[in-house]
Chains A and B, each alone.
Chain A
């Protein structure tokens, strides 16, 4: 035991001695000195330079006081798509407008007088023209005179007008009709979207315009040279859309409204509408697996949430039960009407709703 004890004691003594001499202590960390970074304290007021306002100071036109002028949409830029079906808005003549505007003020009186006589038809019409407002006169002339190619729709209208007016004039209107009737009615009421409507003020306008054409049968392309119409004569551009270019793209889904792009209905409103319709849906008897069917519906509303017309099935789904399910969907929409929860201030967005109705899967 003595051997072990001595060995151990000596070993520990050596170890401690080594520790004392060889491990004198921890080396202090090297702390690198950091260069001082100058920092200036600058009050924000020096930068922003906002001055306190006084109530007695004179009004100044600066940005904060300017009034907001909502841009008025140009009349012809209302339709999104470029296809014919989209072109609800009228095609007007640029030249006609500009020229007409110029003519309206100073020149109108002189030119009209000489023009009237040359054309027999206009002469007969004068009785009516008296009533016609002088402003419209300038616009009509360009349209009436030029006998250009007509579309079927256009042709149809002119006949109606004369009928309503004097019966004698009926024959006459027919020839002028081929001219660009489209343009006439539209300029006065650019926002009209309903050509189909039979008796609207728009038509009256058109009627009145018809006689006025007679008064001023000037054509942008007519031979007569009028220095005042120089601008109009120089403008050889054929009539085209007067406003912004309509987009080249086909109308996107749901954008059937007169203004705005795609319908902005929020998902919750659409959901509410769909839920309401779904509740009223009675599945056709015997139809199997109808939950795979999607019925595209076009529903038009009035502002009080009622149906403006019966919903239209845009395409009958395929399959044996397709027609039955489509009819059931139409019945569901009609049965649930009206839908008063649709927000009135967003009527624009849900005036026309293209909904893809899916029969509830629980059936």
Chain B
């Protein structure tokens, strides 16, 4: 293909390809990087969203199950023995932690019942906060993507437009046919940023609210259980 022919071809059909893939492929290096980064952020945030939804549902179900067993009148000792063997989460974790502390203090034969109550309360608090931490893990990534995604996309757009203007200046041709594709591809970066950020923001709001609800549910159970243990202590003293 000789140069003259090439020039003719370019002149005949100047950047006709405007599909998404073509836009991405024509973009400059920085814009490509931004777009890829945004794509990765989008994939990761959606992974978190799916994972969290699944995890919250599972936690909610296990809490329901545990509460049903707990209030069924079954002996707490038996329940403790059945749960102690494997890892627990949610209310079961709180119950197991409190029971373990109770058993240790009680079986050691210590007389200070006031100290037992304090210790059990502390253990319950620690367990709840650990559980909450586990529930809310990675949610912060969603918040970050939601707030920073548009800016990152905008950066890609600005960079793309900047470089396209430089290209226009170099080509000494300002016809819209020449200018439009470059600007269009630059704008795609902002579109991707928004596409990543919008679901992240929505999901963050929903998931953090759900986590707070689960946390308060655990708090309520902890108070009730602490009351039961304290009654037991008073009875035995």
Contacts and interface: CB of A to CB of B under 8 A. Distances in A.
B223 interface: no
Interface in A1-58: 1, 3-9, 11-12, 16, 19-20, 23-26
A25 B47 contact: no
B43 to A, nearest CB: 5
A19 B192 CA distance: 13
B64 to A, nearest CB: 21
B46 interface: yes
A9 B22 CA distance: 22
B17 A25 contact: yes
A16 B49 CA distance: 19
Given A12-B39, A12-B42, A4 B21 contact: no
A20 B20 contact: yes
B50 A7 contact: yes
A3 B20 contact: no
B18 interface: yes
A9 B47 contact: yes
B44 interface: yes
A25 B184 CA distance: 11
Contacts of B43: 5, 8-9, 12
Interface size class of A (residues with CB under 8 A): 10 to 19
Given A1-B51, A3-B51, A3-B54, A8 B18 contact: no
B18 A26 contact: yes
Nearest to B23: A25
B139 to A, nearest CB: 13
A8 B44 contact: yes
Contact of B50 (A8, A20, A23, A25): A8
B195 to A, nearest CB: 9
Contacts of A16: 20
A7 B20 contact: no
Contacts of B48: 4
A12 B22 contact: no
A3 B48 CA distance: 10
Interface in B16-34: 17-22
Contacts of A19: 20
A8 B46 contact: yes
A324 B19 CA distance: 97
A9 B48 CA distance: 11
Contact of A12 (B18, B21, B46): B46
Contacts of A4: 46-52, 54
Nearest to B39: A12
B46 A7 contact: yes
Contacts of A26: 18
User: Which of B22, B48, B50, B52 is packed against the most chain A CB atoms within 10 Å?
Assistant: B50
B183 to A, nearest CB: 13
A125 to B, nearest CB: 106
A19 B35 CA distance: 15
Contact of B19 (A1, A7, A24): A24
A50 B50 CA distance: 88
A25 B18 CA distance: 5
Contacts of B17: 25
Interface in B84-135: none
A3 B50 contact: yes
A1 B45 CA distance: 11
Contacts of B19: 20, 23-25
A5 B47 CA distance: 4
B22 A25 contact: yes
Nearest to B19: A25
Contact of B21 (A5, A9, A20): A20
Contacts of A5: 43-44, 47, 51
Contacts of B20: 16, 19-20, 23, 25
A24 B19 CA distance: 5
Contacts of B51: 1, 3-5
Contacts of A1: 47, 51
Contacts of B18: 25-26
A3 B58 CA distance: 14
A205 B175 CA distance: 94
Nearest to B138: A1
Contacts of B46: 4, 7-8, 11-12
Contacts of A12: 39, 42-43, 46
A8 B50 CA distance: 7
A7 B50 CA distance: 7
Contacts of B54: 3-4
A7 B17 CA distance: 31
Contacts of A8: 43-47, 49-50
Given A8-B47, A25-B17, 17 more contacts: A4-B46, A4-B48, A4-B49, A6-B47, A7-B50, A8-B44, A8-B46, A8-B49, A9-B43, A9-B47, A12-B42, A12-B43, A12-B46, A20-B19, A20-B20, A20-B21, A26-B18
6 contacts: A3-B50, A4-B48, A4-B52, A9-B43, A20-B20, A24-B19
Interface of A: 1, 3-9, 11-12, 16, 19-20, 23-26
The 4 closest A-B pairs by CB, nearest first: A4-B51, A8-B46, A8-B47, A4-B50
